[in-house]
Amino acid sequence: MDSCRNGCLILALVALLCLSVSASPNVLSEADKKFGTELLIKSEGSVSTLEEKYQLLRSFQVLGIRREELITCSEVEAVLMSSTSVKDLFYASKCGETLLCSFQESALKTTVSRLLSSLDNTEALLDIHFSLGTLAFLKVQFPVALNDPVSIFQKIKVLSAEDGSWKYNPDDAGTSAKAAGTALETMGDLISLAGQAFDDAKIRYLKGVASKLFEFLEKYDDGTQFIDERPLDGLYGGGGPLAATSQVVKGVAVVASHTSGHIEVPAERVISVAKFFLTAGIHGSLLDMFHVLDGLGVLDKNRFLVPVILSVRPSVLSLSAKEVFKISTTTVLGSPVSATITLRKAVRANEKEPFLLNQVLESDETKGVHNLNDILNKLDIGSYDLTFKVKILEEGRYATEPITIRRVLVTGVASIPEVEVGVLDSDTGSTDYVKRWNPMSKEVVSLYATHLQKLYFGLDILSPRQEQFIPQAFLKLKHETKVEHLFLLKPSGKKLELSLNLLGLVEKLNYLSGIYTIDLIVGDVAMENPVMWNLGTVELDLPEPPEGKVKLTSQAESPFKYGPRPEITHMFRPAEKRAPPTLSNTFLALTLVPLLGFLVGLKLLNTNMKNFPSSGLPVLAALLFHLGIGSILGLYALFWLKLNLFQTLKLLALLGTVLTVPGYYILSHLADASAPKVKSA
């Protein structure tokens, strides 16, 4: 039972960790929008193509700004009338859509007929997409009729793959989710042009494709999800994951806007995609900004699901400035959405016990803003994890994360009433001298200590709510020669303390006696008033350094720390003693003496040389045999002096073969010659 409970606790902790690790980006604030607008205005001068102009226009539109300097309706009309590129026609019509231009049928009749004929002749998805998009825009102005909508539908459908992704062309090797998004957008345009050709089966099919597209989402570690770009997409415009995700979202939105009823999309994934765009934010190239804003624009207002994001502002609250928390539930672009929010719990960071539970927030319905003022007088400085539960009133259209955790930092002014400074006896611990330093009076202390004593520093720090608070605190001792030493004060019980045992520190201080100034440094991320106080001076009487150790001055210290080190010289092993040459030469001669003795002995014995053959082939063989042996010995000598093993072995093999032939011959000759003798014996 116990292990079960522990296991559950661990799981809960892990789940909590995962939740807190997830990204919690903020929705686009007014400041963000202003910044984005400035960036876009700056890049106005560098756009030239229709596609770029449309991207700028659409970005401005999402930010709520109308810019007519970029392109005018008459320019759009001119393009629509004369251009032969379906891509230019498409982007021109998109510009016209954004600018809310209106055109006459008479002027664009030829364009329409050109587009209709191109639809009959093309198989490529992008061409169909551009043509249908233009025609859908024109249909808003005047009636447009398609020749054969069903065959166009089939042309698009034939490019699909089993798993729900799409190709751009019939002969493409791969498929991608981005292409599927484009296909959906195209089919949505087709519905708007020829809705009567779409029966229930086709609509169901389209909704199924849209739902299935969300399965292609991939995850980042921070919990955001996105559609990744496949290599195929790179061939048809590219744009990275931002473009791919934005296209998929657009496709689903267009289908949703032209069909009635509901498309099944997983809420959690739509929210993750919204977070993906919000985390990407407004910066970077014009193209990236366009994709982010385009995607956010679709997610802000659509007919399938609108993600709602909880914002807690400010994320760093200053108690001294009497700031208040404003919690809002809005769409990604900041439009308020009605909801009830409950603060499930508020926990101090790194603590387990929540100090506040289940507080329903008061809300101002019209503005979608909720107050958290009740807890302000309970908050102290530090970090808090606030867990919120959100319930949206209109659940069909909107979706949000039911439970979110937000971390906030509360800052304030900490107070330090006094600092205790003392000199203690090392052995007994009894106080020889203690003084209380007051930050108000700033009266400096003047201490004297020898190496047999201890220095003691202690202080209490109080938060604005008069609670104990532990920031970071350092003590700096600085000698007259500008040598500094830093020590860390550690919490013990309710105080921060530092006890310097001078006996142990003598070496660290480099045996430098003299007057040291004492500085206390206290600070923390939650503390709005960090301090550095000069507490006074301490005169340290340290013993002399032991023999051989140089007492370093400050000048000497720096080269040792940062300057070059002394050069290391290698000590090679001393060469070994060899025998003097005369002695070794004598022995060389001596070694040869037995050889001479051997030869003399041979002579004395009247060696039998009679068997040496005297004529014919045997002579040659015998000669060769002896020569062969002699040459092998010569080879050995060469081997010793010069050659390596492989060369020697090669030559040896050669000589060996040369040797064996005559050797065999002569020996068998001798054997035959002496055989009768042996037999007779």
Partner 1 sequence: MRGVARDVKALLSSIINLYVFYTLCTIVIKVVYMALVGSFPFNAFPLGFLSCVGTTVQAICLWMQVNPKNKEFKELSLEQAFVDFVLTNLVLHLVVMNFLRVERERE
Q: Are 339 and 357 in contact (CB under 8 A)?
A: no
Quote the CA–CA distance of 98 and 293 in Å, as a whole number.
14
DSSP 611: T
Of the pair 552, 670, the CB lying nearest partner 1 is at 670
Minimum distance, C-beta of residue 596 to partner 1, in the bound complex (Å): 9
DSSP string, 2-62: HHHHHHHHHHHHHHHHHHHHS--PPPP-HHHHHHHHHHHHHGGGG--SHHHHHHHHHHHHH
Of the pair 571, 605, the CB lying nearest partner 1 is at 605
Of the pair 154, 607, the CB lying nearest partner 1 is at 607
List contacts with partner 1 (CB under 8 A). Answer: 576-579, 583-584, 587, 590-591, 593-595, 597-598, 601-602, 605, 607, 629, 632-633, 636-637, 639-641, 643-645, 648, 652, 663, 667-668, 670-671, 674
Quote the CA–CA distance of 540 and 501 in Å, as a whole number.
12
Of the pair 413, 633, the CB lying nearest partner 1 is at 633
Q: Are 241 and 228 in contact (CB under 8 A)?
A: yes
Task: Please choose, from the candidates 180, 148, 142, 144, the residue with its C-alpha nearest in 3D space to the C-alpha of residue 161.
Answer: 180
Of the pair 580, 616, the CB lying nearest partner 1 is at 580
Q: Are 475 and 520 in contact (CB under 8 A)?
A: yes
Minimum distance, C-beta of residue 506 to partner 1, in the bound complex (Å): 52
Residue labelled with tokens 């659509």: 302
Minimum distance, C-beta of residue 624 to partner 1, in the bound complex (Å): 14
Minimum distance, C-beta of residue 660 to partner 1, in the bound complex (Å): 9
Cβ-based neighbour number of residue 368 at 10 Å: 19
Minimum distance, C-beta of residue 611 to partner 1, in the bound complex (Å): 11
Minimum distance, C-beta of residue 615 to partner 1, in the bound complex (Å): 20
Minimum distance, C-beta of residue 594 to partner 1, in the bound complex (Å): 4
DSSP 142: S
- Angle at which helices 86-99 and 73-82 pack, to 10 degrees? 160
Of the pair 511, 639, the CB lying nearest partner 1 is at 639
Minimum distance, C-beta of residue 582 to partner 1, in the bound complex (Å): 12
Q: How far is CA 295 from CA 234, 277, 334, in A?
A: 19, 7, 14
Helix (H) or strand (E) holding 448: strand 445-450
Of the pair 6, 586, the CB lying nearest partner 1 is at 586
Of the pair 292, 621, the CB lying nearest partner 1 is at 621
Of the pair 531, 632, the CB lying nearest partner 1 is at 632
CA dihedral 265, 267, 273, 275 (to 10 degrees): 170
Minimum distance, C-beta of residue 645 to partner 1, in the bound complex (Å): 6
Quote the CA–CA distance of 334 and 28 in Å, as a whole number.
6
DSSP 499: E
